[in-house]
């Protein structure tokens, strides 16, 4: 018979053996997987220090765009590369460029030593993006002894000049500042071996075409330089321009191609009808329900609305072009490090930014072009993770169908989160908070808890539900309408048994059975998509009056909605359907809190949307020139 101590030891030994067996199996599986993986890092001509650095970043296998383009770039071809957002386009050029410089064909001709001119130039449209890509070159280039520097506007010239004078291998920057350095004769681009245009379409669209041409034209021997062009979106006009910069035998790696879906497939794409004035009330609840406790980026159309919304939302900060560069950097690094969880930005943050744990994107209104939608929504769902992109739209002012058609996204339609949705979402947070409280507090609170339970007359579960609500500060359940998201309003559907073509006609029907003041109290009247009725909001306290009134009019059906039907959008209205004929106060856009700001473009702004901005999507390269200085974001 074994002693109790002997039994314990035996059990421990058995457990240990089991663990070792498990570890062995896991390792074997991993090795087998690696061996099967055609994109495993070891299969590529990547030198040891780079492999180690990749491993340090948890990268064991290349993403498709990286795997497909690696040999082509390393072997010396010019290349146009396209893959959806968050698919690793940055490393797709960083790795083969570095490898070429240290072991490949660029090695022999690259300049070395003090005061050497750069061998690589990477151009990007925004400062934040330049800084992000530069940090990849610092990390991976640093591992193989190559130096880099980042040149962008808003930062002092001196430190940039010192680095350039000493000599660097890789220059990353925005076209404006690089052009300035050329004019100041600080930089010699004649010996470049690589030129990269990242987010090429945006850079060319922004009115940088001439700057880009001037910069790229500084190369002495064009046959010795490789040019690479990358983006998630490559409209045809970019391809024409590309032909100018890239060699005729350039290769193309287009992982999006003619597939219908151009936006990220890892993202839930959602649309939600919302008036301008309701945005500020609605956004905190959308964050509660859809951010899964992670980071949120909110996009506005203008710098003013970004600042105003950030001021309104607790714990949010703004990022846009009018903010001083130093502050922009502080804001972005605070967001990256989790000091605050909501960033309100203009399109300055739409492209390329790769920030960990961004779970939710909110677009306050549909952007002007499909590319902006694709890039904005692509700030989430990166590197195989999932995410949610919610786009707000006012059906009477904007249309989502163009974006839906051109991006290939099939939008999920939802209405404003209701109290039970919010409670469900934040209840989980509260439960987690309570789970984290140490059991050691129980004895101290136990007698009060018992007393509370006894005196409350509630069940344990009901009382706990109240405690959860209190823990997250959600003690008042406010009902809000489905249409305009107004508190204490309900959404009604009016039908008359035949099609309703205009708002004017619908108001006429309402006047048949309601007093003028009740017609005036109607909010947000909008035609339904299939044209058989209209929806609108009314104050909850007057609901009975509205419902009773309809009995006076024959064939009128009035129904309280629990879910919003598809609404008719501006595009389908063929003009004049909305708003006319109704009482002025009855339209969308009440004057409550928040309607002063977050306005973005008003109704009239829509009509001039392509008149003078650089977002023109009609193929006009360089049309935006001159607008750069006064750009909206």
Residue 238 interacts with ligand ATP (CB under 6 A): yes or no:
no
Between 333 and 488, name the residue whose CB sits nearer to ligand ATP.
Answer: 333
What is the closest distance, in whole angstroms, from the C-beta atom of residue 383 to ligand ATP in the complex? 3
Q: E strands of 333-405, at which residues? A: 342-345, 358-363, 387-393
HSE toward the beta carbon, residue 375, CA cutoff 13 A: 25
Tell me: does residue 87 bind ligand ATP (CB under 6 A): yes
Does 354 interact with ligand ATP (rule: CB under 6 A)? yes
Contact with ligand ATP (CB under 6 A) among 50, 73, 83, 241? 83
Q: Is 388 left (phi over 0), alpha (psi -120 to 50) or beta?
A: beta
CA atoms within 13 A on the CB side of 359: 13
Closest among 364, 359, 316 to 340, alpha carbons compared: 316
Choose between 66 and 266: whose C-beta lies nearer to ligand ATP: 66
In angstroms, how far is the first alpha carbon of the chain from the final one?
81
Please tell me the distance from the alpha carbon of residue 507 to that of residue 504, in angstroms, as a whole number.
5
Buried/exposed 214-225: b ≥16 CB within 10 Å, e otherwise:
ebbebbeeeeeb
Rule CB under 6 A: which of 54-73 touch ligand ATP?
59, 61-63, 66
Pairwise CA distance, residues 58 & 489, whole Å = 51
Residue 78 interacting with ligand ATP (CB under 6 A): no
Q: Does 86 bind ligand ATP (CB under 6 A)?
A: yes
Q: Does 42 bind ligand ATP (CB under 6 A)?
A: no
CB of 129 to ligand ATP, least distance (A): 8
> What is the closest distance, in whole angstroms, from the C-beta atom of residue 41 to ligand ATP in the complex?
8
Closest contact distance (angstroms) between CB of 184 and ligand ATP is 30
Q: How far is the CB of 358 from ligand ATP (least distance, A)?
A: 11
- Angle between helical axes of 89-102 and 64-74 (0-180°, round to 10): 30
Q: Which is nearer to ligand ATP, 91 or 253 (CB)?
A: 91
- Quote the CA–CA distance of 46 and 40 in Å, as a whole number: 11
Binding string to ligand ATP for residues 363 to 402, with x set by CB under 6 A, is what? ---------------x---xx-------------------
Among 68, 70, 88, 281, binds ligand ATP (CB under 6 A): 88
How near is the Cβ of 150 to ligand ATP at its closest, in Å? Answer: 16
* Number of chain positions touching ligand ATP (CB under 6 A): 19
Phi, psi at residue 537, to the nearest 5°? -105, 145
Q: Does 433 bind ligand ATP (CB under 6 A)?
A: no
Task: Decide: is 81 part of the binding site for ligand ATP (CB under 6 A).
Answer: no
The torsion angles phi and psi of 507, rounded to 5 degrees, stand at -65, -40
Q: What is the rounded CA–CA span in Å between residue 218 and residue 225?
A: 11
Asked if 232 touches ligand ATP (CB under 6 A), the answer is yes
Report the interface residues with ligand ATP, using CB under 6 A: 59, 61-63, 66, 83, 85-91, 232, 352, 354, 378, 382-383
């Amino acid at each position: 018979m074994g002693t109790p101590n002997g039994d314990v030891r035996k059990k421990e030994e058995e457990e240990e053996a089991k663990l070792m067996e498990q570890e062995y199996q896991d390792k074997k599986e991993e090795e087998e997987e690696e061996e099967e993986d055609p994109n495993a890092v070891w299969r590529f001509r990547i030198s040891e220090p780079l492999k180690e650095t990749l491993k340090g970043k948890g990268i064991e296998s290349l993403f498709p765009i990286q795997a497909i383009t690696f040999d082509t770039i390393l072997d010396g071809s010019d290349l146009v590369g396209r893959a959806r957002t968050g698919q690793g386009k940055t490393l797709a050029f960083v790795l083969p460029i570095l490898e070429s410089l240290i072991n490949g064909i660029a090695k022999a001709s690259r300049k070395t030593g003090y005061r050497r001119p750069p061998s690589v130039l990477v151009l990007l449209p925004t400062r934040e993006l330049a800084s992000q890509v530069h940090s990849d070159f610092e990390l991976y280039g640093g591992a193989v002894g190559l130096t880099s520097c980042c040149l962008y506007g808003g930062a002092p010239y001196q430190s940039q000049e010192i680095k350039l004078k000493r000599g660097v291998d890789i220059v990353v920057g925005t076209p404006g500042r690089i052009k300035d350095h050329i004019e100041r004769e600080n930089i010699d681009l004649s010996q470049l071996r690589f030129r990269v245009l990242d987010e090429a379409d945006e850079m060319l669209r922004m009115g940088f075409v001439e700057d880009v041409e001037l910069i790229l034209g500084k190369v002495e021997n064009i046959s010795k330089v490789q040019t690479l062009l990358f983006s998630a979106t490559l409209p045809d006009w970019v391809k024409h321009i590309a032909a100018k910069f890239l060699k005729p035998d350039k290769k193309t790696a287009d992982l999006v191609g003619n597939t219908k879906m151009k936006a990220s497939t890892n993202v839930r794409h959602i649309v939600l009808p919302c008036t301008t004035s309701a945005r500020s009330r609605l956004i905190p609840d959308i964050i509660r329900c859809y951010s899964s406790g992670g980071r949120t980026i909110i996009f506005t159309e203008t710098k003013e609305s970004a600042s105003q919304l950030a001021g309104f939302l607790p714990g949010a900060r703004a990022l846009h072009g009018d903010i001083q560069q130093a502050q922009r950097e502080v804001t972005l690094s605070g967001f990256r490090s989790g000091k605050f969880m909501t960033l309100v930005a203009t399109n300055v943050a739409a492209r390329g930014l790769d920030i960990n744990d961004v779970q939710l994107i909110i677009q306050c209104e549909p952007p002007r072009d499909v590319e902006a939608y694709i890039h904005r929504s692509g700030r989430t769902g990166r590197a195989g993770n999932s995410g949610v992109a919610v786009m707000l739209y006012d059906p009477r002012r904007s249309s989502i169908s163009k974006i839906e058609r051109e991006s290939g996204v099939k939008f999920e339609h939802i209405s404003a989160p209701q109290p039970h949705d919010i409670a469900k979402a934040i209840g989980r947070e509260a439960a987690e908070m309570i789970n984290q409280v140490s059991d050691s507090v129980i004895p101290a609170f136990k007698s009060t808890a018992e007393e509370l339970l006894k005196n409350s007359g509630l069940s344990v579960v009901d009382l706990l539900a109240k405690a959860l609500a209190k823990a997250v500060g959600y003690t008042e359940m406010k009902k809000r309408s489905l249409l305009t998201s107004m508190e204490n309003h309900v959404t009604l559907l009016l039908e008359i048994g035949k099609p309703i073509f205009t708002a004017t006609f619908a108001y006429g029907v309402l006047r048949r059975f309601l007093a003028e003041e009740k017609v005036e109290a109607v909010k947000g009247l909008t035609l339904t998509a299939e044209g058989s009725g209209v929806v609108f909001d009314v104050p909850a306290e007057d609901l009975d009056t509205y419902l009773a009134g309809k009995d006076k009019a024959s064939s009128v059906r009035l129904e309280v909605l629990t879910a919003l039907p598809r609404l008719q959008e501006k595009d389908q209205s063929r003009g004049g359907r909305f708003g006319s004929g109704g009482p002025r106060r009855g339209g969308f856009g009440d004057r409550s809190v928040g309607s002063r700001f977050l306005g973005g473009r008003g109704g009239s702004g829509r009509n001039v949307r392509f008149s003078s901005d650089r977002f023109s999507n009609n193929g006009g390269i360089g049309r935006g020139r001159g607008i750069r200085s006064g750009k909206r974001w």
